[in-house]
């Protein structure tokens, strides 16, 4: 058998270039080893590193809050003579990691989690990691001209355990916030989630004591109310992920470079589905495909809000796979230092209400899944009694993201380390204050420095970055709302392979097509970034034309 493999390592990271936060990278060219034609397996050996890693959940020295760790989700794609990129399947065993590292393979074998084997913090620099690919399971019969790409995404482990929904209910302007229904009708008791069992939503009086309430849809300034209140009850099934069980969550929001890497593995038909611009023809004028514009527009009608994903248009035909790249500076040269690779990717919407969003398609392709709004609150707040309204467990201390050394409309700085906060002494988050002045989201990790803490970095209790502000977090509501069908969601993970049109191959009714928003964005006020704020969780603004604030991240149930 002829064995000729072209190996390409792609980094799906959403963090700044140097100094300010983690930076996951492959540090050694891939090597193909231990081809076993009987077992039909092969080892992919590489070296990987990232900064500011941690683990603090093992008993003994170093055991401390928040009792968790960070990890890398590593997965592979392969392309054979059919010219289709497909998701690779790992073996459950047979992997090799160096001293200090550990590996965990989920039961569906869609990838591998790499993380520290002992408590500690600092830089991971792991040499000669070997992951075993079950190429026989993936129906690969000949290695001739096969190409493999390896991807890595930084994740944070959220441990199993109880947590609270809602704060103390004392701030009326936090709309539709969760609370425990009390017989006296008060809204000031947070709701304790201590298992994954069925939850009854809504109700009042003695019969509803202990149910999950929503302030009776209080203070909602526009439509899209929950379908439960003090007079109407609903049932949240046991299969709906509630956040009690352990899960992994992306450390940062999906970046524009991540989305470009995703687009470049799709067919032409799939690419057309996952972009705003119609890219099906032999001539494409609106080359900035997520905004459907000819240029990166700084202001006015058709503003790009710093999205610089561009398509190469020379000799493209109508069936060939297109090449996408980052080009915020607009000079037509791909992926330069100031082209916005590390900006969060916005405009992750859809062209119709009957189509899955780009976020959902990306997560399905990566073997991840959408988070629920309960998982959002767990990842943001942690396990303790609610200590404040904000992601950093404080209240009233914040510095808005306009305080940067270089203005947001200086496109030449969108990917450089000189886009930073001037006075990072208070809590930081990218949101609108006091008026809408930003032209788009800020570089992922802009608030994190080598000396920052939870407050100044705006990190969550568990170390998840920018769950408040920058771009909204898409999450699955507990309410079926208007055509949402959210409660049927069971947390099924993506298979890695989209259907022919570019949508998730989900079981009917499992992944709701329409999902809502939590966490606020660069163009929304301070109220929107509060953990308990649910105003937009049933929001139906998933059209790409209105999705300039739509970003997000994915999760995966822990093995």
Whether residue 449 has pLDDT greater than 70? no
CA 139, chain centre distance (Å)? 30
CA 557, chain centre distance (Å)? 14
Q: What percent of the chain has pLDDT over 70?
A: 79
pLDDT band at 451 (very low <50, low <70, confident <90, very high): low
Note the pLDDT tens digit of each residue in 273-326: 999 999 999 999 999 999 999 998 766 556 788 899 999 999 899 999 999 999
- H-only helix segments in 157-291: 256-263, 268-273
Whether residue 411 has pLDDT greater than 70? no
User: Region 41-61: what's the mean pLDDT?
Assistant: 94
Q: Left, alpha or beta for 339 (phi > 0: left; psi -120 to 50: alpha)?
A: alpha
Q: Encoding tokens for residue 125?
A: 């620099």
C-beta separation of 363 from 511 below 8 A? no
Whether residue 346 has pLDDT greater than 90? yes
Helix or strand holding residue 400 (H, E): strand 399-400
Q: What percent of the chain has pLDDT over 90?
A: 55
User: Region 439-449: what's the mean pLDDT?
Assistant: 74
C-beta separation of 312 from 303 below 8 A? no
pLDDT at 291: 92
pLDDT at 10: 58
Q: Encoding tokens for residue 340?
A: 């916005």
pLDDT band at 427 (very low <50, low <70, confident <90, very high): low
Note the pLDDT tens digit of each residue in 517-530: 888 887 776 677 78
Tally of residues, the chain: 559
Note the pLDDT tens digit of each residue in 107-120: 999 999 999 999 99
Distance of alpha carbon 13 from alpha carbon 252, whole angstroms: 8
Whether residue 420 has pLDDT greater than 60? no
pLDDT at 340: 87
Query: Could you tell me the residue ranges of all domains in the chain?
Result: 3-158, 256-341
When the pLDDT of each residue in the chain is averaged and rounded to a whole number, the result is 83
Q: Encoding tokens for residue 470?
A: 């920058």
Residue that wins the pLDDT comparison between 252 and 394: 252
pLDDT at 403: 37
Note the pLDDT tens digit of each residue in 350-385: 877 778 999 999 999 999 999 999 999 999 988 877
Note the pLDDT tens digit of each residue in 122-147: 999 999 999 999 999 999 987 778 88
169: burial class by Cβ within 10 Å (0-12, 13-18, 19+)?
Answer: buried
Whether residue 418 has pLDDT greater than 60? no
Cα angle at 315 between 309 and 320, to 5 degrees?
75
Collapse the DSSP code of 377 into the 3-class scheme (helix H, G, I; strand E, B; otherwise coil) and give the result: helix
Enter the pTM of the model.
0.91
Lowest pLDDT segment from 238-242, 325-329, 418-422: 418-422
Cα–Cα distances in angstroms (integers) from residue 468 to residues 85, 482, 520, 529, in the given order:
34, 25, 6, 5
pLDDT band at 513 (very low <50, low <70, confident <90, very high): confident
Whether residue 103 has pLDDT greater than 70? yes
pLDDT at 410: 40
pLDDT band at 422 (very low <50, low <70, confident <90, very high): low
Lowest pLDDT segment from 83-97, 155-169, 209-223, 240-254: 209-223
Lowest pLDDT segment from 104-108, 147-151, 167-171, 502-506: 167-171
Lowest pLDDT segment from 1-5, 17-21, 87-91, 548-552: 17-21
- Written in H, E and C, the secondary structure of 114-162 is EEECCCEEEEEEEEEEEEEECCCCCCCCCEEEEEEEEEEEEEEEECCCC
DSSP 3-state helix, strand, coil percentages of the chain (rounded to 5)?
Answer: 10, 25, 65
137: burial class by Cβ within 10 Å (0-12, 13-18, 19+)?
Answer: middle
Q: Which of 103, 115, 102, 101 has the alpha carbon at shortest distance from 71?
A: 115
């Amino acid at each position: 058998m002829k064995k000729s493999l072209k190996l390409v390592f792609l980094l799906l990271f959403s963090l700044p270039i140097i100094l300010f936060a983690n930076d996951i990278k492959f540090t050694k060219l891939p090597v193909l080893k231990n081809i076993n034609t009987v077992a039909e397996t092969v080892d992919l050996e590489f070296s990987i590193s990232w900064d500011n890693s941690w683990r603090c959940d093992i008993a003994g020295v170093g055991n401390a809050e928040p009792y968790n760790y960070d990890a890398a989700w590593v997965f592979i794609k392969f392309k054979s003579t059919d010219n289709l990129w497909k998701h690779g399947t790992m073996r459950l065993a047979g992997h090799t990691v160096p001293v200090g590292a550990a590996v965990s393979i989920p039961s569906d074998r869609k990838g591998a989690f790499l993380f520290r084997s002992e408590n500690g913090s600092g830089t991971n620099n792991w040499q000669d990691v070997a992951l075993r690919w079950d190429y026989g399971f993936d129906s690969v019969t000949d290695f001739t001209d096969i190409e493999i790409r390896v991807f890595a995404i930084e994740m944070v482990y959220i441990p199993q355990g109880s947590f609270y929904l809602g704060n103390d209910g004392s701030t009326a302007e936090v709309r539709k916030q969760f609370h425990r229904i009390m017989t006296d009708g008060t809204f000031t008791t947070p709701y304790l989630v201590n298992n994954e069992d069925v939850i009854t939503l809504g109700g009042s009086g003695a019969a509803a004591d202990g149910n999950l309430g929503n302030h009776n849809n209080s203070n909602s300034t526009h439509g899209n109310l929950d379908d439960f209140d003090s007079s109407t009850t609903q049932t949240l099934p046991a299969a709906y992920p509630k956040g009690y069980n352990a899960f992994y969550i992306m450390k940062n929001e999906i970046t524009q470079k991540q989305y470009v890497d995703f687009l470049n593995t799709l067919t032409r038909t799939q690419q057309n589905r996952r972009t705003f611009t119609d890219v099906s023809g032999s001539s494409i004028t609106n080359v900035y495909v997520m905004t459907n514009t000819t240029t990166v527009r700084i202001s006015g009608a058709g503003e790009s809000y710093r999205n610089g994903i561009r398509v190469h248009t020379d000799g493209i035909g109508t069936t060939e796979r297109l090449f996408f790249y980052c080009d915020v500076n607009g000079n037509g040269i791909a992926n330069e230092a100031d082209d916005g690779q590390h900006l969060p990717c916005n405009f992750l919407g859809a062209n119709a209400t009957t189509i899955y969003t780009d976020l959902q398609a990306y997560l399905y392709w990566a073997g991840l899944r959408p988070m629920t709004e309960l998982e959002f609150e767990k990842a943001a707040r942690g396990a303790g009694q609610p200590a404040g309204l904000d992601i950093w467990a404080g209240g009233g201390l914040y510095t808005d993201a306009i305080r940067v050394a270089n203005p947001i409309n200086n496109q030449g700085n969108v990917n450089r380390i000189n886009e930073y906060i001037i006075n990072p002494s208070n809590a930081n988050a990218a949101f609108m204050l006091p008026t809408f002045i930003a032209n788009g989201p800020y570089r992922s990790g802009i608030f994190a420095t080598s000396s920052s803490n939870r407050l100044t970095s705006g990190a969550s209790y568990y170390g998840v970055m920018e769950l408040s502000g920058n771009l909204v977090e898409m999450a699955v509501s507990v309410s079926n709302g208007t055509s949402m069908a959210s409660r049927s969601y069971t947390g099924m993970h993506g298979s890695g392979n989209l259907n022919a049109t570019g949508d998730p191959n989900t079981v009917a009714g499992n992944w709701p097509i329409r999902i809502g928003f939590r966490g606020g964005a660069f163009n929304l006020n301070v109220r929107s970034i509060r953990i308990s704020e649910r105003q937009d969780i049933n929001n139906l603004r998933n059209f790409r034309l209105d999705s300039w604030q739509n970003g997000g991240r994915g999760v995966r149930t822990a093995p």
